[in-house]
Chain A
């Protein structure tokens, strides 16, 4: 017991465009109206959360050649909503996914620098890449990037953005009305950067922002993704919601930091998790079962099965047995616009699903619910608070990104019941101590780069 208890970091994920979000519930509100974003942001800030997180997609998902219509469809522009939320919150971090494939560094750098100014130091960026021609059809360059080049693109994009942001050290603006000197330095913002993906030069036009650069998140689990995070990210957004998987991932990623001259607390590990609360354990379990049925309607169950089988199964009854037809592994993917989940384990999945359905006498829908829908934390507020705390103290994570299943009120109960219990346990803040997101995350302020170093790094 000599080790001090780790402080938990908490974030709220605005319910997204997958079947985790239950739109069919009578309590489900608008996915696009600004009031929904305000509600969730204010709840998160009332509960002293570290940040709010918004995901992004740049092409509506399709299945079987048609726009997927069973889940929430449609969302706002990430930057614009975060800037607007800066007006209705004071401390809450504002994090968003921005794609490095279908953007250019100059524009993204000025958008994040602007967001950081407009929020007084609360911006964060989840750097993602996509490579597919499908998404590229909405953009000038089309699908230009080879799949194997996407991490190079992401790493070079992030470096280019950093070069731009660091082109202002932060002391250039004198604004002395008497002498008429506005800038100390006529070279303010000057940059030149030439690598495989970029050849850019000129003057960056947003002076240094309060955090210097946005807090950097990386999401993704591959070997390359882990290495990228260890080298360049401040936080990693994982999917390891179980204790054992979490501990293994945590040890692996934190173990990579020393190679980059970084200490373990310089990269936070934050799994995305779901939760269901109840007055009693059995009440919570019953609610969780109900939510899973809402998340997996009959048509959604068929759609899931089609993604695994990679073929049209619309003729099958979701309340009936699994199809006896074989999967089509060699055909073009039936789904476009989301991560391709097909791989070597596809055969294994089909075999396991058949065995489980046979053994437990499950219908298609029951099987999909059993195999895909389980929430990460289910129980009374006491039980969930304890489980979250144990998860963090066991070094399975540094905190959580909570994805409520309801918009916009899905975090209310957690804020009212679980957060006070975490505060009582002494593992979660009762007041914000700092003003910037780096402060909340316990990250030291960034040192100001010397421009001479930068031009060296860029050559």
Chain B
């Protein structure tokens, strides 16, 4: 499959001082600022300067850890973070075009609350909101809520029957959760507010709908307390590494983040998700598939690799990631992205190894390079995130045809 003439979509994944664990020790980084609004506002402004489609903001319901199962007791890495939805809301009024996709854990939270939070992010940003669904299988995070026990399953055991059962439970719940989000966003028709002075009615209550969702983990009556957001339904994204999460992307998401390490793997992942999308009856819908890449970027040849080695030297072992790691020049990265795009990916979410350095090299190096190749926009062409991603505004499922 060759890349169509459609330009690439580019996003940035924001997390702490960057994705490399030693990023906070780099010159130019002020690690004490990570919990302040100015830091996040500056990153969003930089991403918007580069005309990126959106920024994601990482989050979790526990302290960051180098271990998959629980806290690691380390004191040499960034620990502590802000709520991602609220961080996105804080930067929304300071940006105009950039999409804002905070991640949110769906395992312990209330779909009713998150639905209105993301709807409100869409209202305050004028239609630029999304959310990245995260599940949590960590026992430590479950204990923070004290309402549910999860079986202890190590990463290595994920393929075991117990591991698969846990994955199916968590991702099944996530699919239900997204269904509830979308129903609640639709629970107000767009023209429900009528302000009819003659009859004294503020709304036409026939245009508000109970969603009556009943599932294994929750039941939600509705309607939402928040009117339908500007985009109708904000954008739903999910990161996926394996068949069960691939299915969540295929059935429930508008954007999937995947982690191929070469183009052959990319083609396999794309084919698998497209197949599941077809089976889910969504073959006609646009579901973006973005590859995640950790990037070290410098204009000068060899410089990025040196920086990577220097950062790795601060760790016990070189940094590894679920995503492929790239270190090189913006032009070399542009080659890699174009190559990857031939396997059917529609965009890329770049995880800067360090912030703000590698984000700035994306905006002042990679983006102009892609523009020269006519592979990326030269101006924002839409005011909403759906507009930037070429996703239609969804019809309301409850509206009479």
Q: Quick one: closest A residue to B27, CB to CB? A: A177
Tell me whether A81 is interfacial, beta carbon within 8 Å: yes
Q: Are B199 and A66 touching (Cβ within 8 A)? A: no
Cross-chain contact B24 with A175 (CB below 8 angstroms): yes
For residue A69, which residues in chain B have a CB less than 8 angstroms away from its CB? 201-205
Q: Do B75 and A117 have beta carbons less than 8 Å apart?
A: no
Q: Is there contact, CB below 8 Å, between A117 and B35?
A: yes
CB distance from B200 to the nearest CB of A (A): 4
Give the total number of A-B pairs whose CB atoms are below 8 A apart. Answer: 232
Indicate whether A111 sits within 8 Å of B62 (C-beta atoms), given known contacts A117-B36, A182-B31: no
Q: Which residues of A contact B188 (CB under 8 A)?
A: 74
Cβ B202 vs Cβ A34 within 8 A: no
A205–B81 CB distance below 8 A: yes
Residues of A close to B12: CB separation below 8 A: none
Measured in the bound complex, the distance between the Cα atoms of B205 and A69 in whole Å is 6
> What A residues does B78 contact at CB under 8 A?
182
Contact B218 A139 (CB under 8 A): yes
| With known contacts A118-B82, A118-B86, A137-B221, A84–B93 Cβ distance under 8 A | yes
A181 at the interface (CB under 8 A from B): yes
* Contact across chains for B225 and A74 when beta carbons are under 8 A apart: yes
Contacts of B195 in A (CB 8 A): 23-24, 28
Q: Does B236 contact A (CB under 8 A)?
A: no
B166 within 8 A of A: no
Which of chain B's residues have a CB closer than 8 A to the CB of A38?
93
Give the most central of B60, B94, B123, B208: most A CB within 10 Å: B123
Complex alpha-carbon distance, A32 and B202, angstroms: 13
Please give, as numbers and ranges, the residues of chain A lying within 8 Å of B81 by CB-CB distance: 205-206
Chain B 157-209 interface residues, beta-carbon cutoff 8 Å to A: 188, 193, 195, 197, 199-205, 208
Given A69-B203, A84-B90, A298-B200, verify A107-B25 contact (CB < 8 Å).
no
Pick from A86, A203, A299, A300: contact of B62, CB under 8 Å:
A203
Q: Does B396 count as interface, using CB distance less than 8 angstroms?
A: no
Q: What is the CA–CA distance of A200 and B110 in the complex, to the nearest angstrom?
A: 18
Stretch with Cβ within 8 A of B (4 or more), from A7-15, A183-191, A242-250, A321-329: A183-191
Contact, CB under 8 Å: B226 / A202: no
**Residue of A83, A139, A199 ringed by the most chain B CB atoms within 10 A:** A83
B82 touches A114 (CB 8 A): yes
Report the Cα distance A175→B30, complex, angstroms: 9
Query: Looking across the interface, which residue of chain A has its beta carbon closest to that of B80?
Result: A207
B-contact bits for A106-141, CB 8 A (1 contact / 0 none): 110011011101111000000000000000011110
Distance in Å: Cβ of B144 to nearest Cβ of chain A: 4
**CB <8 Å contact, B117 and A77:** yes
Complex contact A88–B225 (CB within 8 A)? no
Q: B40 → chain A, closest Cβ, in Å?
A: 8
| Contact among B60, B64, B89 with A84 in the assembled complex (CB-CB below 8 Å) | B89
Q: Kindly list chain A residues whose C-beta atoms are within 8 Å of the C-beta of B73.
A: 186
List residues of chain A with CB within 8 A of the CB of B145: 104, 106-107, 200
Closest to B116 in A: A77
A67-B126 Cα distance, complex, nearest whole Å: 27
A70 and B120: CB pair below 8 A? Answer: no
Could you give, for residues 8-52 of chain B, a 1 whenever the CB lies within 8 Å of some chain A CB and a 0 otherwise? 000000000000001011100101100111000100000000000
Q: Given the complex of chains A and B, what is the CA–CA distance between A140 and B219 in angstroms? A: 6
Q: Write out the residue numbers on chain A whose beta carbons fall within 8 Å of the beta carbon of B121.
A: 80
- Flag if B112 contacts A138 (CB, 8 Å): yes
Is A75 positioned at the interface, with any CB of B under 8 Å from its CB?
A: yes
Task: Tell me if B344 is interfacial: C-beta within 8 Å of chain A.
Answer: no
Produce 1/0 per residue, B218-242, CB < 8 A to A. Answer: 1111110111000000000000000
Q: A180 at interface (Cβ–Cβ under 8 A)?
A: yes
* Least CB separation from B138: chain A residue: A202
B86 & A114 in contact (Cβ 8 Å cutoff):
yes
- Chain B residues near A207: list those with CB within 8 A: 35, 80
Answer whether residue A198 sits at the interface, using C-beta atoms and an 8 A cutoff: yes
**Number of residues on chain B facing chain A (CB within 8 A):** 80
B61, CB-defined interface residue at 8 Å: yes
Which residues 64-91 of A sit at the B interface, judged by CB distance below 8 A? 66-67, 69-77, 79-81, 83-84, 86-88
B105 to chain A, nearest CB (A): 9
Residue in A33, A106, A115 whose beta carbon sits within 8 Å of that of B123 in the complex: A33
Does B71 sit at the interface, judged by CB under 8 A? yes
Residues of A near B200 (CB, < 8 A) are 24, 70, 297-300
Among listed A55-63, A211-219, A397-405, interface-contacting one: A55-63
**Chain B residue, CB-CB nearest to A107:** B109
Residue of A with least CB distance to B76: A180
Residues facing A in B49-79 (CB within 8 A) are: 60-64, 71, 73-79
Give the shortest distance, in Å, between B264 (CB) and chain A (any CB): 38
| Residues of chain B within 8 A of A107, CB atoms compared | 61, 108-109, 145
On whether the beta carbons of A77 and B37 are closer than 8 Å, the reply is no
B85 within 8 Å of A by Cβ?
A: yes
In the assembled complex, how far is the CB of residue A53 from the closest CB belonging to chain B, in whole angstroms? 17
A403 to B120, CA, bound (A): 22
List, in ascending order, chain B residues with CB within 8 A of A66's CB: 205
Interface string of A165-196 (1 = CB under 8 A from B): 00010000101010011111110110000000
Is A103 an interface position by the 8 A CB rule? yes
- B379 to chain A: closest CB distance in Å? 24
- Tell me whether B80 and A77 are in contact (CB under 8 A): no
| B113-A186 in contact (CB<8A) | no
Inter-subunit contact B112/A139 (CB<8 Å): yes
Whether B204 lies near A111 (C-beta < 8 A) is no
A186: chain B residues at CB < 8 Å are 73-75
Contact across chains for B63 and A117 when beta carbons are under 8 A apart: no
> Does A205 contact B62, Cβ atoms closer than 8 Å?
yes
A206 and B193 contact, Cβ closer than 8 Å, known pairs A69-B204, A81-B124: no
Chain B residue contacts of A70, Cβ below 8 A = 200-202
A137 touches B76 (CB 8 A): no
Contact assessment for A34 and B124 in the assembled complex, using a CB-CB cutoff below 8 Å: yes
- Does residue A142 face the partner (Cβ distance < 8 Å to B)? yes
List, in ascending order, chain B residues with CB within 8 A of A24's CB: 195, 197, 200
CA distance A118 to B31 in the complex (A): 16
Is B217 part of the contact surface with A, judged by Cβ < 8 Å? yes
- The minimal Cβ–Cβ distance linking B225 to chain A, given in whole angstroms, is 6
- Look across to chain A and name the residue whose beta carbon is closest to the beta carbon of B73: A186
Q: How far is the CA of A307 from the CA of B185 in the complex (A)?
A: 31
In the bound complex, how far is the Cα of B110 from the Cα of A239, in angstroms? 31
Task: Assess whether A76 is in contact with B226, with CB atoms less than 8 Å apart.
Answer: yes
**B85 neighbours in A (Cβ, 8 Å):** 79-80
* A400 CB, nearest partner CB in chain B, Å: 27
Contact check: which of A34, A74, A118 meets B227 at CB < 8 Å? A74
Bitwise, A139-154 to B at CB < 8 A (1) or not (0) is 1101000000000000
- List 10 A–B pairs whose Cβ atoms lie within 8 Å, in order of A's numbering: A58-B225, A77-B226, A83-B89, A83-B90, A84-B93, A103-B113, A139-B220, A173-B32, A206-B35, A299-B200
Q: Can you name 19 extra interface pairs (CB under 8 A) apart from A74-B193, A203-B62?
A: A67-B223, A69-B202, A75-B225, A76-B120, A80-B120, A103-B110, A106-B145, A117-B37, A118-B82, A138-B221, A139-B110, A142-B219, A177-B25, A181-B75, A200-B143, A202-B71, A202-B140, A203-B63, A205-B80
- For the complex of A and B, the 5 pairs showing the least CB-CB separation, nearest first, are A83-B89, A114-B83, A137-B221, A175-B31, A80-B120
